[in-house]
Structure 1
Amino acid sequence: MAGQSAAQSAEQSAGQRTGSTPMVVVEDVRRSFGSGERTVHALRGVSFRAHRGQLTALRGRSGSGKTTLLNLVGGLDSPTSGRIEIDGTDLSALDEDGRLALRRDRIGFVFQSFGLLPILTAAENVGVPMRLRRVAPAEREERVRTLLALVGLAGHADQRPGELSGGQQQRVAIARALANEPALIIADEPTGQLDSETGRSVMELLRAVVRSEGVTALVATHDPQLMELADDVVELKDGRIIDPS
């Protein structure tokens, strides 16, 4: 109960700081693939909200629709029907250039497979999104140093991914996701390739980042042990949200 009270207090404080509008609004979203008898209904009328300054976990078995939902929220795909709003922007109102700008400027992505460029150092990997935005070198280097320190890797800036552990690589990926100061972080099974202890430390880092950076995080996971670290949990089964009651 005490944990719930703390979470409620955090939500109220976040609401006072940023207003009551949720960061993510998903309304009756459906996504189907194929046609006729071969149609696959990946999402079947999903609705939920992710609040600003909180970590929302998407829970469900493989095939429940978690990744499909994250791709839609991140603007990587479009729903068959329904509405998705990110930070007050209706995704259906954006053309492809608008979606690209949204992903570049407002959303940070963290993947299960880390997604780091093997020939670049940790610092260079973190700096890639800022290079794409043509951030001035001095500003970029300062931001990289700050982010590597934030994720506990200040002493590993010059190491390449192959010289880092899985947990360290995922920390680099989190720092990279924060490079352009996004409003929303989307993480798809970020602990999936890590042992349980390292996975928990990465999830704790994500929660700490949400608190310190004031971002919103939407994290897909199938690990029930990580649910206690989330402010809110949305459970999916067969493309539908399960009512926790």
Structure 2
Amino acid sequence: MTEAATVPVPAMVSVRGLTRTYGTGPSTVHALRDVSFDVAPGEMVAVVGRSGSGKTTLLNMVGGLDRPDAGTVLVDGTEVTALDDEGLSRLRRESVAYVFQTFGLIPVLTAAENVGVPLRLRQTPVTEREQRVELLLDLVGLREHADQLPGELSGGQQQRVAIARALAGSPRLLVADEPTGQLDAETGLSVMALLRALVESEGVTAVVSTHDPVMMALADRVLHIADGQVQA
């Protein structure tokens, strides 16, 4: 019997020759130097390195928040580096979501309203929006806090709301820059475990920068970056 040929699955993220330099002359900073790698669909990749190594710059390029001097980034087959501002806005609205150290919640909106913001921008019908918000608050363990304002929540709870909001629009790619950087060790551990679980349950691909060895252990793969280069 002839075995069926294995069809390779296209990468969710494909980075080739990414280069980014800031400043000129003696003050030049080579944030990224000819960086290339792939991330498979459904994979959770941790990007690790010292402060100033280029982690945040790399994540900003992958998520379309900044443009490289050279090289390309493809996300789900779309060349991010070739998109105009309108195309980048659409990418961020429909395919890529972000979680940052600072939670970025709107202080005058409740937890549920914050989670629902991306769905409002997409003009999701009210009933569908409310069901999705309720589901996500359940997933992050905050259903009982739906009507509380961010200022009434702990740091860990606020980050959980931010994660739920990032997943509201069912993105294909989640970009998280030091998501536990402002949390204590115990809270950070619970948030990291939550991210791992949500990557699996929501079928999302994740690229996460971190200093935390626990997050590295939870990731499918670790990319080490130093002086703007990915190390073997």
Scaled by the length of structure 2, the TM-score of the pair is 0.95
Question: Higher helix fraction: Structure 1 or Structure 2?
Answer: 1
| CA distance, structure 2, for counterparts of residue 225 and residue 168 of structure 1 | 19
1:23 to 2:20 alignment = no
1:154-211: per-residue Cα shift (whole Å, max 9, x none)? 1110011111111111110000001111000000000000111111111111110010
- Aligned-residue CA RMSD in angstroms? 1.3
Q: What residue is the counterpart of 1:115 in the other structure?
A: 104
Match in the other structure for 1:77:
66
Structure 2 counterpart SS, 1:218: strand
Partner SS state of residue 108, structure 2: coil
Mapping for residues 20-99 of structure 1, pairs under 5 Å: 20-99=9-88
Shift of 1:134: 1.2
Shift of the alpha carbon at 1:37?
3.0
3-state SS in 1 of match to 2:46: strand
Determine if the alignment matches structure 1 residue 222 to structure 2 residue 214: no
Structure 2 equivalent of residue 3 of structure 1 = none
Pair 1:145-2:134 in alignment? yes
Which of 116, 129, 134 pairs up with 1:127?
Answer: 116
Question: In structure 2, what is the Cα distance between the partners aligned to 1:133 and 1:220?
Answer: 28
| Residue 173 of structure 2 is aligned to residue 184 of structure 1 | yes
Do 2:64 and 2:81's aligned partners in 1 also have CA atoms closer than 8 Å? Answer: no
- Secondary structure class of the residue paired with 2:158: helix
Deviation at 1:19, TM superposition (A): 6.0
After superposition, the C-alpha distances for 1:57-104 in whole angstroms (9 at most, x for unaligned) are 010111010000011011011111011100011113311100110011
2:194 maps to which of 205, 222, 233: 205
Match of 2:143 in 1: 154
The alpha carbon displacement at 1:153 in A equals 0.7
> What residue ranges of structure 1 are gaps of 5+ in the alignment?
1-15
TM-superposed CA distance for 1:225, in Å, is: 3.0
Distance 2:223 2:130 in 1: 37
Question: Does the 8 Å contact 2:180/2:192 carry over to 1?
Answer: yes
Structure 2 spans left out of the alignment, 5+ residues: 1-5
Deviation by residue 1:40-63 (Cα, 9 ceiling, x = unmatched): 110011111111111110101110
1:223 maps to a residue whose letter is D
Match of 2:159 in 1: 170
Report how far residue 242 of structure 1 moved.
Answer: 1.3
Q: Percent identity?
A: 62
Runs (4+) of structure 1 exceeding 6 A deviation are: none
Deviation at 1:39, TM superposition (A): 1.9
TM-score by length of 1: 0.90
Answer whether contact 2:68 2:81 (CA < 8 A) is retained: no
Q: Distance in 1 between matches of 2:118 and 2:68?
A: 27
Separation in 2 of the partners of 1:225 and 1:153?
A: 23
SS of the residue 1:169 aligns to:
helix
Distance 2:64 2:49 in 1: 21
CA distance in 1, matches of 2:192, 2:34: 28
Distance in structure 1 (CA, Å) of the matches to 2:8 and 2:182:
37
